């Protein structure tokens, strides 16, 4: 019954049963639609996609932090071993050793978070280590240059027939100082520089015949005489083991050999005191 007004009569309306089902279905569809629309609205405002991205990023950051800590531990162990080896190298190079407390120099100042303090400490120790290694490199380089200028190898391969010291002169028969060593080898055998240095004399020198003289610095000079030929010139820089002449019998000699001498601050000394190779 439907009342159309205060003074009108009532009207009876009759609806088929399926209309009620349709109406109910429409009502359900409306409720579901409103629910979905509301969910979409909430989803958009809540930005679940961004939340998922942030969750993924947070997981990745945690994984990176774990790897970071592992790398820090590995580097800390490596740096400790390097510092220990550093002192061994310093001892070998003749440098003073660095005590652990000195390696901590620069620690202090404003407090920092643990992680930042740990990174700052490693960076500071690394810079300190770099400075120490540079000092070691310089010291070793200086010593290597000095060692390279010591006449420590045989200038020619052969047989020593006369050593440094007094002997009977083969020409006069008188006792006389022999200021070098005589090395016999086949005629034309290659003669090499006994150490790094600078050629200061070549050519003919009286009874010595053809000679080569090399200045090695620090008051050391080497002398090679009775050469058949000379392969270097005055002013040439030579390296230890470099070919400089060929063995001969020029000058006053009883046969092909090399007279090899060493001067220290102008005084002849025994060359075998410097030779360390067989």
Q: Are residues 105 and 208 in the same domain?
A: no
CATH of residue 180's domain is 2.70.70.10
- Residue 3 inside a domain? The answer is no
Q: In degrees rounded to 5, what are phi and psi of residue 4?
A: -90, -15
Distance in angstroms (rounded) separating the CA atoms of residues 19 and 93:
105
| pLDDT score for 225 | 96
CA of 112: how far to CAs of 104, 117, 182, in Å?
Answer: 16, 6, 74
**% of the chain residues with pLDDT over 70:** 76
Query: What are the helix (H) ranges across the chain?
Result: 17-46, 48-92, 100-103, 114-148
Tens of pLDDT, residues 18-62: 666 666 667 766 666 666 666 666 566 555 567 777 778 887 887
Shared domain for 180 and 75, answered yes or no, is no
Q: Does residue 266 have a pLDDT over 80?
A: yes
* Residues 119 and 36 placed together within one structural domain of the fold: no
Q: Which of 148, 180, 204 is the last residue of a domain?
A: 148
> Do 163 and 269 belong to one domain?
yes
Instruction: Tell me whether residue 8 is in a domain.
Output: no
Instruction: Establish if 6 belongs to a structural domain.
Output: no
44 CB neighbour count, 10 Å cutoff = 10
Residue 10 belongs to a domain: no
Could you report the per-residue pLDDT of 58-108, keeping only the tens digit for each? 878 877 777 777 777 777 787 888 887 887 888 777 787 888 777 665 444
Same domain as 191, residue 131: no
Which tens digits make up the pLDDT trace of 99-132? 877 766 544 444 444 555 577 777 888 888 888 8
Domain match, 173 and 189 both: yes
Examine the domain organization and report whether 128 and 210 are in the same domain: no
In a domain, 245, yes or no: yes
Boundary (domain end) residue, out of 96, 118, 148: 148
Q: Are 230 and 272 in contact (CB under 8 A)?
A: no
According to DSSP, the β-strands at 237-238 and 220-230 are: unpaired
- Whole domain around residue 36: which residue ranges? 15-46
Domain boundary among 113, 128, 148: 148
* Same-domain check for residues 28 and 55: no
Looking at the chain, the number of H-run helices and the number of E-run strands are 4, 14
CA angle 64, 67, 70 (to 5 degrees): 150
Average pLDDT of the residues of the chain: 81
Looking at the structure, tell me whether residues 231 and 131 fall in a common domain: no
Residue 2 lies in a domain: no
Residues 56 and 22 in one domain: no
Whether 1 is in a domain gets the answer no
Whether residue 164 is found in the same domain as residue 103 = no
In angstroms, the CA 167 to CA 164 distance is 9
58 and 41 in a single domain? The answer is no
Number of structural domains found in the chain: 3
């Amino acid at each position: 019954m439907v009342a159309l007004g205060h003074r009108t009569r009532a009207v009876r309306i009759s609806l088929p049963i399926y209309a009620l089902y349709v109406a109910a279905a429409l009502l359900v569809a409306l409720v579901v639609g409103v629910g979905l629309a509301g969910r979409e609205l909430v989803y958009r405002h809540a930005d679940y996609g961004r939340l998922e991205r942030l969750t993924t990023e947070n997981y990745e950051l945690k994984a990176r932090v774990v790897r970071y800590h592992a790398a820090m531990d590995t580097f800390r162990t490596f740096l400790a071993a390097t510092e220990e080896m550093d002192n061994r190298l310093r001892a070998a190079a003749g440098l003073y050793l660095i005590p652990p407390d000195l390696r901590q120099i620069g620690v202090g100042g404003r407090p920092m978070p643990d992680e930042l303090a740990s990174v700052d400490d490693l960076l500071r120790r690394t810079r300190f280590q770099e400075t120490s290694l540079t000092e070691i490199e310089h010291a070793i380089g200086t010593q290597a240059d000095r060692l390279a200028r010591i006449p420590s190898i045989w200038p020619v391969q052969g047989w020593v027939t006369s050593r440094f010291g007094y002997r009977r002169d083969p020409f006069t028969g008188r006792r006389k100082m022999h200021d070098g060593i005589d090395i016999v080898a086949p005629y034309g055998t290659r003669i090499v520089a006994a150490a790094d240095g600078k050629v200061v004399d070549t050519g003919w020198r009286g009874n010595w015949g053809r000679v080569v003289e090399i200045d090695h610095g620090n008051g050391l000079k080497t002398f090679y005489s009775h050469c058949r030929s000379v392969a270097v010139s005055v002013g040439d820089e030579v390296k230890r083991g470099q070919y400089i002449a060929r063995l001969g019998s020029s000058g006053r000699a009883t046969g092909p050999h090399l007279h090899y001498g060493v001067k220290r601050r102008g005084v002849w000394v025994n060359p075998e005191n410097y030779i360390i190779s067989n």
